[in-house]
């Protein structure tokens, strides 16, 4: 297996994980409310929203890291492919 194929497999896995995280984050954000819960009667709703925000805050850095890694990796793969074509000869 060539280096380019291994990099493509790695990029596919990274991008697949990124897509799954984006889907999970979007399902979390669907349940997010834009309301403020001030009184004690809605304490349960406030706690649910705080827990949801905590989960969103845990996922966001991973999404950014995977986006960056996926973008850099596809640029590296494109650069290697161009380099191999230029040095292949005619």
Other CB atoms within 10 Å distance of the CB of residue 38 = 8
Does residue 82 register a pLDDT over 70? yes
Give the model's pLDDT for residue 35: 64
Q: Which of 7, 10, 2, 12 is nearest to 88 (CA)?
A: 2
Give the model's pLDDT for residue 45: 77
Average pLDDT over residues 57-77: 96
Distance CA 29, CA 52 (A): 8
Average pLDDT over residues 74-90: 90
Whole-structure pTM value: 0.80
Does residue 89 register a pLDDT over 90? no
Distance CA 16, CA 23 (A): 11
User: What does the pLDDT look like over 11-47, one tens digit per residue?
Assistant: 999 999 999 999 999 998 887 666 666 667 777 777 8
In the structure encoding, which two tokens stand for residue 12, read together? 């596919």
Least confident of 10-14, 52-56, 74-78: 52-56
């Amino acid at each position: 297996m060539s280096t380019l194929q291994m990099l493509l497999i790695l990029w596919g896995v990274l991008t697949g994980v990124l897509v799954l995280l984006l889907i999970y984050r979007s399902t979390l954000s669907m349940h997010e409310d834009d309301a403020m819960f001030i009184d004690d009667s809605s304490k349960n709703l406030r706690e649910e929203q705080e827990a949801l925000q905590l989960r969103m805050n845990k996922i966001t850095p991973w999404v950014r890291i995977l986006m960056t890694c996926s973008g850099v990796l596809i640029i590296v793969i494109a650069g290697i492919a161009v380099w191999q074509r230029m040095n292949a000869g005619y």
